[in-house]
Structure 1
Amino acid sequence: MKINLVNIYQFGKLVNQTYELSQDNLIIFSGNNESGKTHVRYFLTYMLVGLKKQELERFNNQPNHIFGGEMLVQCDDRVFTLYRTDKLNHQLKVQDEQKHDVPLEEFKQYIQQVDRELFDRIFHFDVLSIQKEQTDSPEHLGELLLSLSMSGTDAIERTEKKLKQALDQLFKKNGTNPSLNQQLKTLEAMEKQLKELKKTETGYHTLEQDIKESESTIEHWHVDSDEVKKQLTFYQTYHQLYHKIELYQLADRYLKEHKKPEIKRESNKADVITWADRARDIAQQLSYQQQQIEHKKEQIKASQVRLGETSLYEFLSTIHEQESFWRKQDQTGLQVKGELEQIAIKIQNEKRNIGLVLDDEEILQLALPKENVEELEVLVSSYKSLDDSKSSNQAELQLLLSEGDGLSFERHQVEEALLNDYERRDIEVAIELLRDTNKRSMTSKSLLPGFSVASGLLIISFIILYSINNLQPPIIIGLVLVYMIGLFGLVHLKQQSIKLNKKKLTLEEENQLQHYYHVLTEDETAKEKREELTRDWMIFTRDVAVKEKEINKQKDKQKQLAGKINRFKDQYPFLSYVAEPGYSKVLASVYQLKGLLEERVTLLSRLQSIEDKLQQFKQSIVDYCDTPEQISIEEMLKVVREQFNELTHNRERHVELTQELHRLEDEEQQLDAALLPLTETLADVYQAYQVDDFESFISQHEAATHYKDMTQQKSEMKQKLAIYFSPTELTRTLSEPLINERLLKEYLDDYHNKRQQLDDEHMTAMEQLVTLKAKKQQMESSTGYRDLSYQFQMKREAFNRTAKEWLIYKISYEQLLKTKRLFQTSMLPGILAKASEVFRVVTNNRYQSIDYDQDSKQLFVTHRQGTWFLYDLSQGTLDQVVIAIRLGTAIVLNQSIHLPFIIDDSFVHFDQQRKKCLLNYLNQQDRQSFYFTTTPKEYLTDYQVIDLEDN
């Protein structure tokens, strides 16, 4: 498959784009970001396999255009055109070179249809998917690339990990934490306890053996009972269908004794009798009809003499038939003249409404579709709405700015109320000085208690000395002096304190101290107000920024709309002389004026055509009927009508006779046509029955009918018997002779007795089994055994469910490994060989091959100096290995799917030499490849490059 032409109607921002592709196998789309590479890539995907609903909504954003496009593809020696549009409900439509629709089933012979997921995994490459495939650790990269080589994706490697993780969580051979290991350990312990409880019950095993023997006896009874019931049912059915079996054997005996009549084709007896009678009647009617035809021919010869000239009658007849037409043409001409006068008045009114001097020819030549008028009206209304919204936002911004001025003024006032560091420090120093004076004034008061204690001690000393009679004069004198000195010092300090107190309690200093405290309090209040205003100022600045951003967006949109409106002004220069709000109204009026001018041209052409026709019509009547040219059409038509009526009467009689003759001849032909198939049909019937006349046919038909009835009776009886008998019983019933009714009754009685006997034996065995089970239940009625048995059953059911889940994972995991082994032995060598070929091309033969190590389950590459596993390679070489395996997988596994490669700059990490080698390799392949890149086309001169920047 090769794509020769891509025609995009509308896809995203691509509108009416056509790309002609050369016969090269590599097509490169070049362009910077936002140039349309993604749109072209998704369009190719849309045309080949379709897009998802979200993707269609993303690119179908221009409702005034037809979404989708077409592609011209060549498959072998045929060329097809593929269509996908929203008009086709996004379904693929295929046409051949002659524009004939091709069914999709026939088209699949050339191009196999694939779903979107398979297409993305195999045929679509992008740099993100290549990087994603390298996110695993190096030791797991081999498994990842093996998964890529199997399916083109990492799904197999991820599935294998999940299955292995699920198996390990459920069971490990020597593990203890998995679910099955824990449940199995619990079941083994409970089973051991159950066995110990069973051993404590005497005779339990003997009772179980008796129960098994009773159950075995009942099973044997079921086998014997089924056999007896089967035989009894057979003979009952045989007795019920006795009459049908008898009918079957009678029919079979007749068919064996008589030979089937040799008839090539059967016919209905009643039909043949009807055909014979009808053929006889038609032959008599045909003879009478021929006599009537000869008589009518003689009458026609006599009336032909009274006919006039054929050319004159034909002309008069034509004029008579067209009389209403020419009257209407005359009236139409008058109406057209009236319409022209009205159109002229409307044109003058419309020109006055426009207020511009516009030439009629220029208006008629304007390319002014209705869509342009509607689009300009939408643009002008949108521009006006934006302007109103912008004015509203600007007013709100001015209101915000006025509020901001108020906040700024309040902040300025608060800043003035705040103390600076120097003022605060001076006030705090002054307050501290006042506080220190107060403390000094209180020092004498603090010494008074000490002096009182010292006086007390002195008195106590006097008392002690007195008690011991040791009051020596020097000691007493010394103590008195000490006391007098202390008393004198205390009095001095007290006087000093009184002086200081008088200074502190000055009213001016007290007011000063209160003023200092008031200033500090106002400063703290101002700080709180400043913080509140700061928060309001931040909110204000944020609101202003949001509003300014919104106004700027509206200005940008207005600028865009103004540019689009200027485009209309460039296209229609007369709009330059119109005020801005009236653009759409003037353009709509010009559109109406153009329509009126076009209607006037049409009416003028129509009036000229009518006048020419009327003139030719009048001249033809003058030539044939010799009438004056100056009379009106009404008078000319009257002359023609009189001459036509005279000739019509003569011709009507001739026509009546001719029609009657034709009727008689038609009736003759109908009789002849009706007689011929009857004769041929009867001859075929007689030949099929190998007879010569009607009586022989009747005899042969009755014999064939009887043989057919017996055959049908045999088949119907066999079908009815097959409903009630099995195939073996049916063969036995139909092959053996019919059983005598007396003997059949004896068989039924015998099997009824056997069944009754077996039922009695079954009842006895069931009673015995119930008795034994009751004894067993009584032995097992202990609470410990029952509870443990119930828990054991519940645990075992849970174990079985978990084991079943583990078995499902186990089988899936083994099948996945089996598939991988089968793939490694069958298809992996071919894929690795193709991948090695790509790898050698990319690395310029620096590396020889990519191989798979069965022991380590790792991929490795071969170099001239040795081999390396993937985790030893550099990032650049690893990129090349991944791309080589992706290309090798796509080429080998999908040779039967003829779809192109779509590569989205997946070689971005390659240097120029390696990229050129890989591009040359793709260009040499039989499959077409589309490569999307930002590389300028000046660096890609060896290939066909479509520069999207030029479109």
Structure 2
Amino acid sequence: MIIKQLNIYGYGRWIDQQIDIQNPLQVIYGPNEAGKSTIIAFIKGILFGFPDKKHSPHGQYQPKGNAPYGGEMTFEVDGHLYKIVRTGLKYNGTIKFYDLDQGTKLTKDDYQNIISPIDRTAYDQLFYFGSIDQHEFYQMGRDELRMRIQSIGVAGAGDWMSLQSNLDKQSAKMYAPHGRTKTINVQISDYKKLEKQVTDAKADFPRYQHLQADLKTKQASLDQLQSQLKVLDRQLDEKRHLQTLLPLVSQLKGLKGLDESQLKAGFTNDDINQFNQLDLQLKTQEEQVSTRQKAVDEIAGNLVVTPSQKFYEAHKSDVDRLTDELPDAQKLALRIEMTAAQIAEVQKQVDEKASLIDKNDQGELPKPFDRQTFNQVNDLLREQQNLKERLSENHRRRRQSSPSKNQPNFSIWYGVAIALIIGAVLLSTTSAGWIGYILAIVSAVWGWYNAKNSTQDAPVETRDDQAAVQSQLEKIQDKMAVISKKFQLQGIDEPNWISIQSPLQQVADLKVNLQKQSNTLNDSQRKYSDFLRKWTFASDWLKFDQSKYSQTVETIAGTVKHWQQLSASYQQQKDELDKRQKDLASAKADFEQLLLKKKQFLDHRGIQSDTAFNQLVESQGSLAKDLSRKADLEKQITAANVQIPDDLDSEQLDAAINDLAVKGQAMRQKLDDLSQETTRIKTEVEGLIKNGKYYDLRQQLVNMQTEIVENVQKYMALKLSSQWIQAVLNIASKGRLPKTLALAKEYFATLTNNAYKDIIFKNEISVVRNDDVHFPINELSTGTLEQLYLALIFSMSVGFSDQYPMPIMIDDGFVNFDKDRKKAAGKLLDQVSERTQVLYFTANLDDNIDSSLVLNLKKL
């Protein structure tokens, strides 16, 4: 798994934050309190679920404000891109899982198939390196490492390891090469001693046979005496049992006159319960009737029809019909208000633009030119300008002593420039306007340049006919006067006629738009007035200002809604009253039914009142108790299985019990004496056996041989079973344990610059320096201990990367490292990142860290 991007919606201090992971070895830098630990907790939470308060030692990182809790993570597995989204605190958060390459949504089970069997505990053991618990690390040996490595991905590995551990413990209890207290060791030692006893047993054998015969005689007498005592004790127990039954017999005689026929029917516990139930139901039903009567009276007192409600009910059909038109009327009112506002805005634009245009002698705006008139005026102005320039030029030439001839007239270029400027003004609202300005500038410059170069060399033309030029000017003035009158341009300078055409046309267009909107407004106001006219019948109830269009419609809608609410409330109250009245009638009927049922109950028992029933219940109850006691006594006496004589005398019974007790005591004394003699003989026999009874000892020797062989076979079975389990686990875990141990030695050598050459894994871990000196881990410095732990974590992580490639996270794991150790650690990180992703969180940046690998949290 390679993490590509984190998108945090809200988690601790991080809110709406995106973090891109771009390198296989990504250094995430930030000072203390910058949010590094929060990011680590966020990644673990996205992967394995957000823990609850009980399992969150550092809190649940709930964001401030209203930001949603959780976020998403994009990651790659085997070149395939996925995204997981986890939000919310309940049940470890809600999961959404997507296949980004296929653009499909997957299930939670699909995600578990990818992440399984790694969980949060396994991840912290195999892929996370933060502060270490040194006490726990000191206790970690080969078995703990094996447990961590082989429990991942092997179904039931914990049970198999537990079974293997039990097998090893059982085999260890049975035998050890140099043990003294183990089972097989003890049996071998005892076997050697027993062999010596067999050799020495022949001398005591005759005495043993005599004692065995005497013991047999004594044992027969002892068995006979015990049998006699057993019979005596049974007789004594029967007498004593009969003695305990005397009080019961006396009580039974006192109840002899009672009979079951004296009990009357109808007064059992079930009958009493039925009576009490009826009584309770009557009281409850009476209270219910009273409560329902109060509710009916209260609702009936509040049921009032208001005048406005009466008016609404009388005109309901008209009101409802017109109410359906209210949405359209509301839209119409809004349209009127919006149109009026638009008209005011357009009128304002007209006034603003008109104020910038020259007015005629009457102080009014002239009319805009049509396209033909615009071109005509443009040509007339240009021609007029040319004629004036010719008159001016002729006048100048007459004053010269030798006037030039054939001098070209370059004023045409200025005319072209003026025409282009006018065209640009007219086209100023289009993209071609700026081209006109550029061409006008080029024409003017070209005319000035040619006029300058030809001033000295051009020949003097023949003098124009002054009268002809003047005549042409007068004709142009006449045409201009006609145009001025037609378009109301009196008092406006002719050169300005062209420049004011564009704003004049804009004002004209705005006035056309203004007229259209005015027509629309008049039509809407007419429809609005027609709608209000339909409400004339309700004028006494509707008060509004017709000039406030939307407010008027809202007033009508609010009033109608109020009428409808009053009508609905009245109908609801009326329906509720009907319902309450039906409930009251039902309650009264149930009350009468219960009264009848109770009367029938009393009549059936021949009584008329509750008091009479209670008195009979009490007397019948006392009789039932006496009869029950009589039955119990008879049952106890019967269960005693003792024949009770009719003429039983308690004094004679006491005397018989005392006589049996005296005989039993004498028999027990004799039995004790005989038991002591038997015990003495047994003790002597056991002494002879210990000293060596030849045949018995030989049999014991054979039995012991058999036990030793059985225990050796059991020991071998336990050892072979343990070895078989280990072989199966090695196969199931793909040989990760040897691979991990080899990688740990290699990585530890790299981290220590080859200062240590080996790691020994036994019950506890120890390391071997280059000079062959062994050190247990509790003698290592903190820095070297962390190097060893880092080597173990990396070896386990890389060992799992072929099947479970998870990113490794290191939380400031090199705090206790000096410069050389950090350099070696960096070299190892580069090496490991070629196999799996490494995220290194730190608050201290070293010079040897490549800046391209650093993600600075302060810049996010």
TM-score (normalizing by structure 1) = 0.32
Larger RCO: 1 or 2 (CA < 8 Å, sep 6+)? 1
Q: Counting helix residues as a fraction of each chain, which structure ranks higher?
A: 1
TM-score (normalizing by structure 2) = 0.35
